[in-house]
Amino acid sequence: MAVSYEFSIGSVRAKENALFSKTDIEQLLACQSVSELCQTLRDKGYGSGEDFDSIVENHMDDVWAYLKSVAPDFAVFTPFIIQNDVHNFKVVLKGTMSARDYYTRLLITPCTVAHQDMIAAVEHRNMSDLPEWLSPAAEKAYDLLAHTGDAKSSDAVLDKAVMKEMLRFAQGFKSAFLKEYCQTAVFYNNVKIAVRSARTGADRHYLKSALVQLDGFDRDRVIAAAVKGFDALLDMLSKISEYGCKTAMEQFKISPSAFEKYVDNRLMLLAKESCKRASEGAEPLLGYYLGEEAQKKALHIIASGIKTGTDTEIIRERLREIYG
């Protein structure tokens, strides 16, 4: 029997109570070793496993299994899952061309294209077996890598394809939040590409192949500024008010990490403002999923800091907004 949004929202609201609070995060920050962190996570019922990576992976597997069981329309998660498809295609393409069979360990789930189907499409160069949004980009990415060895341009073609599909899907789905979230994510993906390109001297052709046109982002103006250099681009981006870009660039002038944190926090605040208050539709499920992803990122920041012996205050400063 199909579940209703009324049931799924009630279920996910209860699940939200298990997300880490700021107090929980402080307890995790107090861990003196990764093994202590793992034991604390197990004690909190976060997941099972012998090491940090397996604990987090097992927990996220459980999250996806839960969402599949309660979501009336699991397609709402498509914009996030198809990013895994592109990751998997890149892994298979590079692994196949370099004749490295161990690449299969790098494939991730959930995905809309089964791992074996992705492998078969690349090995037999039958990209028409892939989803319509991915097939042309996959063919072009294959050609670029095979004939020029240009992995950067190959990746850019694939990244652009998935960003465009995220926008297309969100535009047609009945969720104002999902539309705003995807537009904001794509906007800042564009900004990051433009900044990297200006710093490395990428040409106009590359920028056109990598940047996605969307409301509030004048691609031609950004390209014109980027090819002039980093300072010209930074000045131009600092004048864009949409998506909080002006504030984002102020953070970038402090440091690239401050910029990254601002972008992550802006996306999380969108979720908290739209999804926590929602009483109908898919927003509560989307919010819970994004909360789990934010929690996972926090755990990786903490674990990385512990491994490198980073001061606790610095680790705390690197942490983003959480949903719990």
Confidence of residue 160 (pLDDT cuts 50, 70, 90): very high
Q: What is the pLDDT of residues 224-241, one digit of tens each?
A: 999 999 999 999 999 999
96 with 142, same domain? yes
Residue 322 gets the label, from left (phi > 0), alpha (psi -120 to 50) or beta, of: beta
> Quick one: average pLDDT of 136-164?
97
Alpha helices by DSSP H, the chain: 5-16, 22-29, 34-43, 52-70, 78-97, 115-123, 135-148, 151-172, 176-200, 204-210, 219-228, 230-237, 245-254, 256-275, 283-307, 312-318
Average pLDDT over residues 52-74: 97
Instruction: Please state, for a pLDDT cut of 70, what percent of the chain lies above it.
Output: 99
Place of tokens 């789990």: 292
Average pLDDT over residues 23-36: 97
- Please report the pLDDT score of residue 254 as a whole number: 96
> Residue 122: inside a domain, yes or no?
yes
pLDDT at 100: 80
State how many domains the chain has.
Answer: 2
In a domain, 130, yes or no: yes
158 plus 206 within the same structural domain: no
Encode pLDDT of 97-149 as tens digits.
988 878 999 999 999 999 999 999 999 999 999 999 999 999 999 999 999 99
Do 274 and 181 sit in the same domain of this protein?
Answer: yes
Cα separation values, 277 from 255, 263, 322, Å: 33, 22, 16
pLDDT at 299 over 80: yes
- In DSSP terms, 217 is beta-bridged to 214
Tally Cβ neighbours within 10 Å of residue 284. Answer: 24
Q: What range defines the domain where residue 138 resides?
A: 80-173
Helix (H, G, I), strand (E, B) or coil at 95: helix
Q: CA 130, 136, 139, 141 torsion: positive or negative?
A: negative
Tell whether the model's pLDDT for residue 1 goes beyond 60.
Answer: no
Same domain membership, residue 168 and residue 125: yes
Q: Is residue 14 part of a domain?
A: no
